[in-house]
Amino acid sequence: MKKQNKIVFSLTVAMILVNNIYAKDTTNLGALTVIANKVEENIKDIPQSITVISDVEIERRGIKSVQDLIKEIPNLTSSFLNSEKVNFRGINTSFFTNTNPVVVYIDGIPHSDMYGFDKAISNVLRVEVLRGPQGVIYGKDSIGGVINIVTKEPTNQLEGSISAQYGTNNFQETSIDFSAPIIDNNLFLGFNGIISKSDGYAKNIHPDQSDNANEKHLVNAKLKYNVTDDLTIKLSIINDKDTRYGIEGGIVQSSENIKDFKRKDFKKVSYDEDIYVKTKSNAQALNITYHLDDMTFTSLTTHKKLDSDISMDADFSDNSLYANFITFTKQRTKNISQEFRLSNSSDKFRWLAGLYYENNVQNNDRYGAIFPAFMMGNPFGAGVDVEMNAVSQKNSDTVAVFGQVVIPFLENYELTLGGRYQQIKKEIDLDFFMLPTNTTGTKMYSLNEDNTWNTFLPKIALSYKINNDLNSYFSVAKGYLPGGYNQFTSSGEESRNMFNAQKSTNYEIGLRGDLLDKQLYLALSVFYMDIQDIHVNSFDTQTGATYVSNAGEASSKGVEIELNYTINDNFRVDSSIGIIEAKYDKYKGKNGNKIEMTPSHTVNIGLSYSNINGVYGRFDIKNQGKMYFDDVNTMKEDSYTTANIKVGYLFHDWNIYSYVRNITDESYITIASPMPTGTVLTFGEGRFVGIGAKYTF
């Protein structure tokens, strides 16, 4: 029996033993209420994997972005080159659906696009991370899970904070949060904003290029109106902008061993073309809630515009042979959605039913590359560079009806039944041009197609309450990510451009609750996922273009554990462990290969200290297991460990602190991507030292 199987088997047996040992009744834990399933529930009653991080923990751990959040969750990782690429339980980002396998919701506004995914986090009450397929409640894109960010509600009190930070690479950040009543008990206003900038790690020494600072800003406003005791209207507005220049890494020869290179080797680089990723988004959400006796009616309307402007020096060098060799993307996405739902969250019977509509329009004004003439065989004459550009509009319409019911029976059992039927229609209108640079002319081919994906997403779960503090469950849920069309191929044939939907069936057994007189919180899940038609991102080494295809069958299995132990009034230990084996079962001669970008394990261990005199501190160790970067399993990063520390002092209304991330300056590769001129490497953040102050009023 493999080591992985032994671990899964042992933990399953351990769960059964705990079920027997703790069958006696104990004092009930104070309820932690979450809205993960869009109704208020005690976290212990939810029959699925869920992680909740409070506002206090977010501040103590120094979590400022979605990327920071991801590092805290077992078996969830991300990396960045020209977009945020997320992997969870072996499922990767799907190019050309532009979708990450985990959807971020901020006050009901969805963010799954790989561009603009790493949102800044501010004014957060708590974060609820649902692991595993969430299609029944959250729809088509949540094949891996959901990160639900709940922001703080304005109240009758004027309150808020102002903070500032400074750190390595001339990092500077200022933030402000405040909320106030406009009309007591009726109308409230909340506002928060963040502005940050940094010089970045690498310096471009090319004489024709200048260094450009990375910048980020976020503005979020919330207006809440209690029309009556039963009717509440909330309007949320989010505006954010993120500009990143360069990469933390560079290119090496394809024949070289990537393990021979460290982050410091790319401290100074020389690129003769700009490398930048610029995203800008504006989003609004209107939430109307009306209480009808023991039922609640909710209407949620969202609108979002996302602009992405990306340019990459495709040879990542100043080699004159490859002058003007660049890739480019200029994309605008508009999304509007409407959801109506009715729910009942009584103690004896909980149910939810709803209707959903979404329209998503994506315009690619520029998508392609400019190639030196010789790379394309001089089609327009020697020295005449070639521009390939796929101009397109993609339209997607989704309609769905969904429902979920929780049925208590006997004394300690609950049965959850859920389902979602959805229809997704996608259209593409694409014109492909291959012309001499800076010229206009006739398109080479067109692609005008549409396709409809219909599916039913079921979920069933059975939970058994061992006692008032401990709950166990077993669940089966279907995951789904619709198919789509490639943006950049060599012909206009539908068969060359279209890829099918990716489907999964997730089986999970879990245990969650309090032990040892409520000093120890335990959350344990053992899962197995059967994946069909998995989306695989491949690279054309001649053009550097990415395209998506279906890989047949794959599977992932593993264990996720969270342990929080309160030692005494001052010390607390919290940890999370994710162990996974994700592999291709049927895929073009790669049967048995590990799924790329999936670490064999993730481990987080944190020790926090706080004292009534105001002194606090936190020390974290993070370890990530071996990970392959390609489906042929030739490039990999071995296991590595990083450590972070933060210390601070609370007095009156002030919080003064300092912190160090990656104390040992560990160098580790996060992406190894083939390109026509070599292999591009990116590295994780090096040692970062920062100080900060926060005033709360």
Question: What are the pLDDT digits (tens) for 152-169?
Answer: 999 999 999 999 999 999
Q: Which residue has the tokens 């299995």?
A: 557
- What is residue 37's predicted lDDT score, i.e. its pLDDT? 77
Q: What is the CATH number of the domain that holds 475?
A: 2.40.170.20
240 vs 135, 285, 301, 432, CA distance in Å?
27, 15, 19, 32
User: Cβ–Cβ contacts within 10 Å for residue 531, how many?
Assistant: 26
Q: Which residue has the tokens 């405040």?
A: 178
User: Cβ–Cβ contacts within 10 Å for residue 56, how many?
Assistant: 11
- What is residue 542's predicted lDDT score, i.e. its pLDDT? 55
- What is residue 6's predicted lDDT score, i.e. its pLDDT? 39
- What is residue 682's predicted lDDT score, i.e. its pLDDT? 96
Q: Is the dihedral of CA 44, 49, 52, 53 positive or negative?
A: positive
Beta bridge partners, 287, equal: 234, 300
Cβ–Cβ < 8 Å for 663, 646 = no
Longest dimension (CA), the chain: 83
pLDDT digit string (tens) for 643-667? Answer: 999 999 999 999 999 999 999 999 9
- What is residue 393's predicted lDDT score, i.e. its pLDDT? 96
Q: Is the dihedral of CA 696, 149, 220, 40 positive or negative?
A: negative
- What is residue 107's predicted lDDT score, i.e. its pLDDT? 87
pLDDT digit string (tens) for 41-62? Answer: 788 788 989 999 999 899 889 8
- What is residue 209's predicted lDDT score, i.e. its pLDDT? 77
- What is residue 679's predicted lDDT score, i.e. its pLDDT? 95
404 vs 355, 401, 416, 420, 643, CA distance in Å?
12, 11, 7, 9, 42
Beta bridge partners, 361, equal: 334, 395
Q: For 301-307, what is the mean pLDDT?
A: 96
- What is residue 20's predicted lDDT score, i.e. its pLDDT? 35
Distance (Å, whole) CA 277 – CA 80: 11
Long-range contacts of 349-353 (CB under 8 A, 24+ apart): 349/405, 349/406, 349/407, 349/408, 350/39, 350/41, 350/405, 350/406, 351/403, 351/404, 351/405, 351/406, 352/37, 352/38, 352/39, 352/137, 352/402, 352/403, 352/404, 352/405, 353/402, 353/403
| Pair of tokens at residue 509 | 């057994």
- The vertex-275 CA angle with 269 and 280, nearest 5°, equals 145
Domain containing 545: what range? 3-696
Distance (Å, whole) CA 504 – CA 106: 26
Torsion of CA 415, 420, 421, 426, to 10 degrees: -160
Of 623, 537, 529, give the one whose Cα is nearest residue 581: 529
Q: Name the E strands within 199-325.
A: 203-204, 214-226, 231-245, 249-252, 268-269, 276-292, 295-313
pLDDT digit string (tens) for 335-389? Answer: 999 999 999 977 678 899 999 999 999 999 999 999 999 999 999 999 999 999 9
460 vs 48, 136, 456, 475, CA distance in Å?
11, 10, 13, 6
- What is residue 34's predicted lDDT score, i.e. its pLDDT? 75
Of 128, 130, 119, give the one whose Cα is nearest residue 89: 130
Using a pLDDT cut of 70, give the percent of the chain over it.
94
State the pLDDT confidence band at 541, using cuts at 50, 70 and 90.
low
- What is residue 91's predicted lDDT score, i.e. its pLDDT? 94
Of 394, 391, 500, 396, give the one whose Cα is nearest residue 446: 391
Task: Name the domain count of the chain.
Answer: 1
Enclosing H/E stretch for 60: helix 55-60
pLDDT digit string (tens) for 57-114? Answer: 998 898 989 999 999 999 999 999 988 999 999 999 887 778 899 999 998 888 888 8
pLDDT digit string (tens) for 442-459? Answer: 999 999 999 999 999 999
Least confident of 264-273, 533-542, 625-634: 533-542
The DSSP output letter for 8 is H
pLDDT digit string (tens) for 469-506? Answer: 999 999 999 999 999 998 877 777 877 788 899 999 99
| pTM, rounded to two decimals | 0.90
- What is residue 121's predicted lDDT score, i.e. its pLDDT? 83
Long-range contacts of 67-70 (CB under 8 A, 24+ apart): 67/118, 68/121, 69/121, 69/127, 69/129, 69/147
Q: For 667-696, what is the mean pLDDT?
A: 95
455 three-state secondary structure: strand
- What is residue 268's predicted lDDT score, i.e. its pLDDT? 92
- What is residue 578's predicted lDDT score, i.e. its pLDDT? 97
| Pair of tokens at residue 411 | 């004394």
pLDDT over 90 at 207, yes or no? no
DSSP 575-603: EEEEEEEEEEEESTT-TTPBPTT--SEEE
Q: How far is CA 116 from the centre of its chain?
A: 11
Q: What is the CA radius of gyration of the chain?
A: 25
Cβ–Cβ < 8 Å for 110, 104 = yes
> Residue 647: exposed, middle, or buried by beta-carbon count in 10 A (0-12, 13-18, 19+)?
middle
Distance (Å, whole) CA 488 – CA 445: 11
pLDDT digit string (tens) for 543-596? Answer: 556 677 888 899 999 999 999 999 999 999 999 999 999 999 999 889 999 999
Cβ–Cβ < 8 Å for 109, 118 = no
Q: For 144-151, what is the mean pLDDT?
A: 92
More confident residue, 29 or 599: 599
- What is residue 27's predicted lDDT score, i.e. its pLDDT? 31
pLDDT over 80 at 313, yes or no? yes
In terms of phi and psi (left: phi > 0; alpha: psi -120 to 50; beta: otherwise), the region of 529 is: beta
